[in-house]
Amino acid sequence: MSTLPLPGFRAASFALRDAVGDSCVFGPDGPAAPATLLFFFKHDCATCDLTAPLVERVHGALSGSGLRVLGVSQDDVSLTAAFAKRHGLTFSRALDTELLVSEEYGFDAVPALVLADGDANVLASFEGFGKIDLQALVDVAAERCGTVAPAIEREGETLPDTRPGCGSKVHDPDVARRLAARRDASKLAARRVRMPADLDPFEFLDQQGLTDGLPVVPPTEERVARMLAGTSRQPGDVVADVPPNLAPATVEKVAINAVMAGCKPEYLPVVIAAVEAACTDAFNLHGVLATTYFVGPLVIVNGPIRHETGLNCGRNVFGQGTRANATIGRALQLVVRNVGGGRPGEVDMSTLGQPGKFGACIGELEELSCWEPLHVERGFDREQSTVTVFAAEAPRAIRDQLSRNSRSLAASMGLSLEAIAHVKLHGMDQALLVVSPEHARTFERDGFTRDDLRARIQEVTGRPLRDVLPNEECQKGTGVRALPKEWLGPDGRPSPEVLDRPFPKFSQPENILIMVAGGTAGKFSAAVGGWASGGLGSKAVTRAIER
């Protein structure tokens, strides 16, 4: 709906440049004149072609009496010059190439004409072409200039009574998005970093230490504003205090890092929820960073937002090729680096690292699961969208193409999971089992539940305690802190009678997180180790995603 300023209102002041770079100012600070006529136009508008010679006629008749005519072109220098030459225009023409003035004036169509007095008070205005409207505007202009109004229609001419205008360029979809982003950019509070004009932006950002070693997308104001359109949360809302520096991450700062990671705006709610989950005491992000072990946050997405974002839950789920997976996990890692200060070699002390520390994000293939989705098991409704953040090692393969029943397949999975960290480390905390669709079909056929699978894993990994304790043959093994207190004698060592008791890989069956993901062809699943047992370690955290 047009909001072109009407008589009785004040027109917005502005300053633009003409084709040679001279300033064209409108408003109280502009050239003194009893009246100024603004003529907004674009080169490919037939109604502008009709109106331009008439505006030139008015300019010729009234400029000597003080009327100032200022054309405002929505085109670049060359197109504006071609339009002026075609119509023999002699009045000044300002270039509104950014379309900020056109947007401010709010007209839907060009041509748009605004007549204002010396204080920018509107005397007459209209858009499109109307013979009566134009003559009335000229009459008012002549009166302000103290002279006789010229006739718009000369003898022998037949002008149409009306003609609709052409759509203003501000309504082109790409332009409208750019202008909206620019408007929103004024709300941004983060410190601006000005880049020297002669530097490549990718090299500059790397020199500033703001990258993860790969090129990042320069977070311009417009890109950040577009990213913020992906959430209803206010830019200044604090999402979390990010370890290790416990620096506050606002929605805006999360959006900046999401831009750098290559996210789309619709991914932002997922990234925000992942930041919230990772910064909880239970996840223990500071510990995940500071450990010399090589875990990093793995983001697991559940619920309808998987489809809305195009997240890969199937073939090559841990691999490359899907923007949502690649950038959501990367955005979380960039927030940790750039906001929290968690940089490799400083606080991040991982001995070896792993590719997942660039960023890791997967979705559960709920539609092909034989069980309720992971987030439902963790207390959320199926229709809720959630993230679960898990301190993960790199995935390792579980290859079983021969098992034809669930007990055998579950045994394979248990024996594979036993290798996490070290085969003699039992009584472990959390691990993630990613079951492929083909393996899930075996469990579904036998009615094998998640709890059945966990119980079988605990059964096949239940080694006699004496076999998992440190000894001279292998000095690495399960420490006494992982043992039930009732298994220890007065000297704090295992009692002789418990040495033959089976001790499973995991301290509790529920420590085995289970989800379904991956391609529909291939009997391969994956074991993903976690980090540290006990209260000093990390627990998976699930958070609902807010839009």
CA 286 to the chain's CA centroid: 24
The pLDDT of residue 533 is 60
The pLDDT of residue 188 is 72
- Residue 175 in contact with residue 99, Cβ under 8 Å? yes
The pLDDT of residue 283 is 96
Q: How far apart are CA 20 and CA 77, in angstroms?
A: 9
**What pLDDT digit, counting tens, does each position of 84-104 carry?**
999 999 999 999 999 999 999
Residue 244: is the preceding peptide bond cis (ω within 30°)? Answer: yes
The pLDDT of residue 527 is 98
The pLDDT of residue 2 is 80
Residues of the chain with pLDDT under 70: 1, 181-187, 533-535
CATH match of 14-171 with 3.30.499.10: no
Cα→Cα distances 298→19, 508, 520, Å: 54, 22, 22
**What pLDDT digit, counting tens, does each position of 121-139 carry?**
999 999 999 999 999 999 9
The pLDDT of residue 463 is 96
Tell me where in the chain the CATH 3.40.30.10 domain(s) lie: 14-171
Nearest C-alpha neighbor of 418 from the set 529, 498, 510:
529
- Residue 299 in contact with residue 361, Cβ under 8 Å? yes
